Structure 1
């Protein structure tokens, strides 16, 4: 397996957290195993890593019930068709995926048609009981992207935060919405009943992550000026053990234009 797998036992629920290698932008797919099925959250950027997740899911011996897309950044939805199940998302997320259109699998150059990535089932915020397990769906705005989905498993103390949280990975700060990042951090840090936090980049973590991300957001607010190269140098020197430098490069290209 090229990615890193973390398994967390939560009684009737088992979490299988797949973190892609860095050439897959360190994206994390969550496989939530309930008593009789598997719920997948986010689909990977590189199609080969989506295939790896699906192969592992099949090895668990339970049917894959659905794929949930947390938000409309391509690193979380390009591999959707590989899962072979209905794709669920908030309506805002579906609309943005459609607006972006077809994509390309960067390692292979293979086209990814829009139909392969478009969610077909609308998620309505609220509680849905799946296989006897309450799933709470919450729409979150601001921070990394204007609309994202957070999933709570209150009986298991699990917060599927996805890109509200990165673990030891450089943040995507394209929108420069530092206040939005901090508001979401504060919102979920106050919910102390959740002891297992599942990020969209990096391995599962604990509530200690809220203080770490606050520190990083403050650093981004301080260091992100009008020179992308200077910012990358400063932020990587401040956080030398963090992964995801490629995320900085991509965001810089959008903010400051490609390097000459």
Structure 2
């Protein structure tokens, strides 16, 4: 396996957090194992890494109930077809995925939009799945225009995905640092959640909110009208972070005149 899996035992639930290698900026697929099924959250950029997550899930000996896609960025939905399960997403996230169209991989392979278009509209609220309450909340602004937050209150687990990165450079292409700060403040105000699942990086705790706040403040200080100068400055300030290529991707949106 090229990726790595972190297992967290939460009693009636076990969390299996699959993290891709650094070449795709440690993107995570969360496999929530309930007593009799698996709920997958997010589907990887490269189909090969989606295949690894699916193979691991199959090894648990329980059926994949569904795949939940949290937001409309290709590193979280490209591999959706590999899961062989209904794909759930917020209606607005589905619209954004369809609007982006086919996905072009770095290898040159094109994945048709029909391969990853969600087919089940996820409605915010609480759903009890296999005896386990899942709380679904829609969040607007920040890393993406719209994102899904998933909470498991009985297990103290908050699936933040790309509202939180752990030791990975942030994608700022949505150009909404203020909105991201606001979303982090709302997460930090939540009580009873000691396990935070990041969209990039290893599972962590609530201390990650302050770490992301700090990075965003530094990014705001360092950003000017030169994308390459910004990349050098932020990488110099966070030399241990992985995924500097994600800065290049974001810069295409932040500095379109340079591309």
TM-based fold match above 0.5: yes
Match of 2:199 in 1: 200
Match of 2:250 in 1: 251
Distance in 1 between residues matched to 2:110 and 2:257, nearest whole Å: 23
Larger deviation, residues 249-258 vs 122-131: 249-258
Distance in 2 between residues matched to 1:175 and 1:93, nearest whole Å: 14
1:46/1:106 contact within 8 Å kept: no
2:173/2:249 contact within 8 Å kept: no
Match of 1:96 in 2: 96
Following TM superposition, by how much is the alpha carbon of 1:28 offset from its aligned partner in structure 2, in angstroms?
Answer: 0.5
Distance in 2 between residues matched to 1:179 and 1:102, nearest whole Å: 30
CA RMSD for the aligned pairs? 1.2
Following TM superposition, by how much is the alpha carbon of 1:259 offset from its aligned partner in structure 2, in angstroms?
Answer: 6.1
Distance in 1 between residues matched to 2:112 and 2:175, nearest whole Å: 30
Distance in 2 between residues matched to 1:191 and 1:100, nearest whole Å: 33
Distance in 1 between residues matched to 2:165 and 2:132, nearest whole Å: 26
TM (normalized to structure 1)? 0.97
Q: Deviations over 1:73-93 (max 9, x none)?
A: 111000000000000000000
Q: Map of 1:177-192 to 2, 5 A cutoff? A: 177-192=176-191
Distance in 1 between residues matched to 2:161 and 2:55, nearest whole Å: 22
Instruction: Give 3-state SS (helix, strand or coil) of 2:224's partner.
Output: coil
Instruction: Give 3-state SS (helix, strand or coil) of 1:230's partner.
Output: helix
Report how many aligned residue pairs link the two structures.
Answer: 259
Match of 1:165 in 2: 164
Following TM superposition, by how much is the alpha carbon of 1:133 offset from its aligned partner in structure 2, in angstroms?
Answer: 0.2
2:41/2:67 contact within 8 Å kept: yes
Runs of 5+ consecutive residues of structure 1 not aligned to the other structure: none
Q: Deviations over 1:132-170 (max 9, x none)?
A: 000000000111111100000000000000000000111
Distance in 1 between residues matched to 2:145 and 2:119, nearest whole Å: 21
Q: Deviations over 1:33-82 (max 9, x none)?
A: 00000000000001100011000100010001000000001110000000
Instruction: Give 3-state SS (helix, strand or coil) of 2:205's partner.
Output: coil
Match of 1:241 in 2: 240
